[in-house]
Amino acid sequence: MADEDLRVEYQELGQNMRVYVVQRYTQLTPFVALMTGLGALEYASALQISALVKIFVAFAGVLVSAVFLVLDRRSHWYWNRLYERSKEIEAVLQLRQFTNIRGDRGPFTATNAVLAFYVLVSALWLFALGVAWADNSHIALTSRSLIIIGLVDAALTIGWATFASKAPGLRSKP
């Protein structure tokens, strides 16, 4: 490929990388709005909603959280592919804009913070779903039943977080 073609591709890669970064953070706005609305519906005592509706709302919260988590992870996956290609082009064109920007950052990254946020919100909705199900099934919400719901919630959350960080097409590393 000619140097001029590589320069054009390099510019487009940079623009596309910006698009995916902006997309990841702008989708937090509708996510927070949806979670606020669902949370208000779930816990608004003035509405006097039935336990069955609470189950539906909690399930919707889990589903919306999962969808937004996958959207975020997929955007990050695309960004990483663009980043890797930009480094290849930089090696040929002897540029250094992207090559040296990522060191060993450890676990404290913006990507991991957003992942933790989505997983935590999913966990809270799973817990709300368990409580709503127990209420609908007329199971007394004692400390023992809440602990059991919490343990099931923790197991599901760990599984979901592992899937979101390791699944092909969702994990950040190629």
Q: How far apart are CA 154 and CA 97, in angstroms?
A: 41
171 found inside a domain? no
Does residue 63 belong to any structural domain of this protein?
A: yes
First to last CA, the chain: 24
| Number of domains making up the chain | 1
Chunked into runs of 10 residues, the chain (174 residues) has average pLDDT values of: 90 95 92 93 81 92 93 90 93 86 77 90 92 88 87 88 78 62
Tell me the C-alpha to C-alpha distance, in Å, between residue 94 and each of 40, 97, 101, 153, 170: 54, 10, 15, 50, 31
User: Is residue 66 included in any domain, yes or no?
Assistant: yes
Q: What is the pLDDT of residue 174?
A: 56
Indicate whether 27 belongs to any domain.
yes
Domain span holding position 139: 3-166
Rounded distance between C-alpha atoms, residue 93 and residue 166, angstroms? 33
Residue 109: inside a domain: yes
Q: Which two tokens stand for residue 82?
A: 């663009």
CA geometry: angle 142, 37, 40, nearest 5 deg: 40
Asked whether residue 172 is assigned to any structural domain, the reply reads no
Q: Is residue 153 part of a domain?
A: yes
Residue 173 lies in a domain: no
The model's pTM: 0.84
